[in-house]
Amino acid sequence: MEIGLNHYLVLATILFGIGLYGVMRRKNLLMLFFATEILLNSVNIGFAAISHYYGDLTGQMFAFFVIAIAASEVAVGLGLLIVWYKRHNSIDLDEMSLMRG
Amino acid sequence: MFEAISFYLFAFLVIASFWIAVTTSQALYALTALAAGMILISGFYFTLGADFLGAIQIIVYSGAVLALYAFGMMFFDTTREVKEKNPNKMIVGTLAALSTILTVVIVAAPLVSENIVAFYPSVESIGNTQQIGVVLFTKYLVPFEVAAVMLLVAMIAGIVLAGKKMDVSLTKLAEEEIEKKAEELV
* Chain B residues with CB-CB distance to A11 below 8 A: 11, 14-15, 44
Range of the domain at A22: 5-96
Question: What CATH number did the domain enclosing A16 receive?
Answer: 1.10.287.3510
Task: Tell me whether residue A101 is in a domain.
Answer: no
CA distance A79 to chain B (A): 5
Burial of A100 (0-12, 13-18, 19+ CB in 10 A): exposed
CB environment B50-76: b (16+ within 10 A), e (fewer): bebbbebbeebbbeebbebbeebbeeb
Q: What is the mean pLDDT of residues B22-43?
A: 90
Instruction: Tell me the residue type at A62.
Output: F
ipTM of the complex: 0.89
Task: Tell me whether residue A92 is in a domain.
Answer: yes
pLDDT at A101 > cutoff 60: no
Of B46-50, B128-132, B136-140, B169-173, the one with minimum mean pLDDT is B169-173
Per-residue pLDDT at B28: 86
Q: How many domains does chain A have?
A: 1
* Chain A residues with CB-CB distance to B61 below 8 A: 37, 41, 67, 70
Task: Tell me whether residue A54 is in a domain.
Answer: yes
Per-residue pLDDT at A42: 92
Q: What is the mean pLDDT of residues A20-27?
A: 87
Interface A:B, Cβ pairs < 8 A: 219
Domain ranges of chain B: 1-84, 140-186
CA distance B31 to chain A (A): 8
Domain B1-84 has CATH 1.20.120.1200: yes
